[in-house]
Amino acid sequence: MVGEKEFSKIYDGIYGKIVCDYNLPLELPEVEAYEPAGDGQSPLSQVPEFTQVEIAPNLSGHRETNTMPQWGGSCWYYLRFMDPKNQDALVGEDAEKYWGSVDSYVGGAEHAVLHLLYARFWHKFLYDIGVVSTTEPFYRLRNQGMILGMSYKNKQGKLIASDMVEEKDGKFLDKETGNILEKIPAKMSKSLKNVVNPDDIVKQYGADTLRLYEMYMGDFADTKPWDTSSIIGLRRYLDKVHATFIENKERSAQSDDEAMKMLHKTIKKVGNDIENYKFNTAIAQMMICLNTGLPKDAAKMQEWKLKYTQLLHPFAPHMAEEIWEKISMKKNPVLRAYFATGNDGKIKRAQSVLDTLRSKMTLEKIPDLIEVEETGATPMECAMQKIEAYRESGYTIPVIAGDTAVYFENQDFDSTMVRRAAIEKSGKNESELSKREIAEIMIDFYAAKAKSE
């Protein structure tokens, strides 16, 4: 820095004087296109008036145009995902503050010194100039372990390619020397011929089996050796699931209570394990749950199967989808329904309950109100009496009965959240409640919710 002028020091030969380049800092030229040059160079290389520079009569040269690191383009892509259609800024202020930093960054250990390092530099620079509001781009970092292939080592410690090894009498021999080799895990490489082609595994065992095995091999962060012979165990587990759900092979627990308790224990553990990337222990717990058996009661068995299929989906999505299509009784979503009441206020309150539950259903005032004498012993029985009256009258659009939209004929929105909230408020244990008792608790919950609106 001289006065207010910035310049660089360029030496005129080894023993020459210092020459100042007063063009610095450089301003990039305006170009018509940003496509890379055909020879792999950057777009700037196609602008000779920029690349060819003469600083002194005997000092000229070619400016370096490959100034962007390979990871440069991916150092801020997570920000662009927040606001991909913004034509005026990298990311809009409102969008950036809404999404904030990335919750979890997953990558191999090599990312810690390449992409992760560069991304932090970029993010901190963007913070300094006011583009982002957070000082760190990622809240949590997780490095997955490397999957090793099997290789062979001689007594000198040299690794031998797999195609140069033969197995004889349970021993591994070097084809060239006949010496006994030691089988060890090693990083997969083409030279060692120990790369596992996933397409071959999928073709032989299926995509779900491969997916399961990769998650079951060990802890997410650990380095793990690949062993094709071990994948058979995961294939057998999926075969057992298929036999239980698709072929309806009986696999009953000692008691219904035991089956349901194990299911809820599994739901809790699998949920926690997924959050903490402990996929191997989650799968192990699902195996234990299946081996414990299913309840014999038809209603409980249906609930057990539905919940287990939902647990299975993140690990074996193809089979889970097939099972769900077979066992799920859900129909097309119910988007509109009649409310069996002439009271506009009740309809408004019931609609507010649905909106709170994020249901897409819209309630409508029923055209022909049918008066039904309610003789049921419980609110649910009274609601069912109303439903039956409208069903006999030929109504095809679902009808809701009950003071606060309690019973949904052919419902297709998930009421799990409502059930859990209602039972939690009641202070009772779900595993000890019958289906009717749960319905009664949900009725009270709806009624209290509607009155509070």
Cβ pair 11, 19 in contact under 8 A: yes
Statement: residue 49 has pLDDT above 70: yes
pLDDT at 295: 93
Which residue in 338, 340, 351 sits closest to 446, CA to CA?
A: 351
| Chain center to CA of 194 | 30
Residue spans of the domains in the chain: they are 8-62, 72-143, 224-327, 336-452
Taking alpha carbons only, the member of 160, 211, 195 closest to residue 181 is 160
Give the burial class of 47: count Cβ atoms within 10 A of its Cβ; 0-12 exposed, 13-18 middle, 19 or more buried: middle
The two three-digit tokens of residue 107, written as one number: 């990558």
**Quick one: which of 247, 413, 438 has its CA closest to 335?**
413
Query: How far apart are alpha carbons 256 and 138 in whole angstroms?
Result: 45
Going by pLDDT thresholds of 50, 70 and 90, the confidence category of residue 176 is confident
Q: What is the pLDDT of residue 417?
A: 52
Distance from C-alpha of 366 to C-alpha of 90, rounded to nearest angstrom? 52
Give DSSP secondary structure letters for 313-326.
Answer: TTT-HHHHHHHHHH
pTM of the model: 0.57
pLDDT tops 70 at residue 281: yes
- What are the backbone angles phi and psi of residue 275, rounded to the nearest 5°? -60, -35
CB atoms within 10 A of CB 440: 18
pLDDT tens digits, one per residue of 377-394? 665 566 667 667 766 766
Strand residue runs (E) in 14-65: 18-21, 52-56, 59-62
Q: Choose the weakest-confidence range: 26-35, 313-322, 368-377.
A: 368-377
Is 80 exceeded by the pLDDT of residue 278? yes
pLDDT tens figures, 203-257: 999 999 999 999 999 998 888 888 888 899 999 999 999 999 988 899 999 999 9
Name residues whose C-beta falls within 8 Å of residue 9's C-beta, 6 or more positions apart in sequence: 18, 20
Model confidence pLDDT, tens digit, residues 79-118: 999 999 999 998 999 999 989 899 888 887 766 667 888 8
Q: Is the pLDDT of residue 67 over 50?
A: yes
Q: DSSP labels for 358-425? A: T---EEEE-SSPPP-----SSHHHHHHHHHHHHHHTT--S-EEETTTT-EETT--S--HHHHHHHHHH
- Classify domain 224-327 at the CATH topology level: Isoleucyl-tRNA Synthetase; Domain 1 (1.10.730)
- Contact residues for 310 (Cβ-Cβ < 8 A; gap 6+): 320
Summarize pLDDT for 386-416 with one digit per residue, the tens: 667 766 766 655 555 543 333 333 333 334 5
Please choose, from the candidates 199, 211, 216, 201, the residue with its C-alpha nearest in 3D space to the C-alpha of residue 319: 211
Widest Cα–Cα separation across the chain: 110
Instruction: Give pLDDT, residue 270.
Output: 93
Q: What percent of the chain has pLDDT over 90?
A: 28
Residue type at 277 in one-letter notation: Y
Q: What is the DSSP string of 98-117?
A: HH-SBS-EEE-GGGGTTHHH
Q: What angle do CA 399, 412, 248 make, to 5 degrees?
A: 125
**CA 299 vs CA 260, 305, 414: distances in Å:** 12, 10, 17
Residue from 183, 177, 198, 127 nearest 153 by CA: 183
Distance CA 391, CA 397 (A): 10
